[in-house]
Amino acid sequence: MSYKVSVVIEKDEHGFYAYTPELEGCKSQGDTFEEVIANIKEAIELYLETLPEDERKRSLSREILTTTLEVDVA
């Protein structure tokens, strides 16, 4: 079965870090963007395999909204 999962990816001086807001504790990292995508996909698949079906549906039914804001700093 296929699921759509929100993934947040951050870049810092050490590489890339990814996590999924719906799946608490499901995170990964990589040296490149491509590597972190592959790693987080594998982490999500393994994470979902451990959840009972009802918990999987409940976790993945959360609505995640994202936006970009412009802020002024004095």
Domain that holds residue 46: 8-60
> Number of folded domains in the chain?
1
Task: Indicate whether 4 pLDDT > 90.
Answer: no
Band the pLDDT of 64: cuts 50, 70, 90: confident
pLDDT at 3: 84
Question: How many secondary structure helices (H) and strands (E) does the chain include?
Answer: 2, 3
Tokens at 60, concatenated? 């993945």
CA dist., res. 73 & res. 20, Å (int): 29
Task: Indicate whether 49 pLDDT > 90.
Answer: yes
Residues in the chain, overall count: 74
pLDDT at 1: 77
Residue whose structure tokens are 């491509």: 34
The CATH number linked to 54 is: 3.30.160.250
Global pTM? Answer: 0.84
Residue 72 covered by a domain: no
Residue 65 covered by a domain: no
Going by the DSSP 8-state scheme, the letter that residue 27 receives in this structure is E
How much is the mean pLDDT over the chain?
A: 93
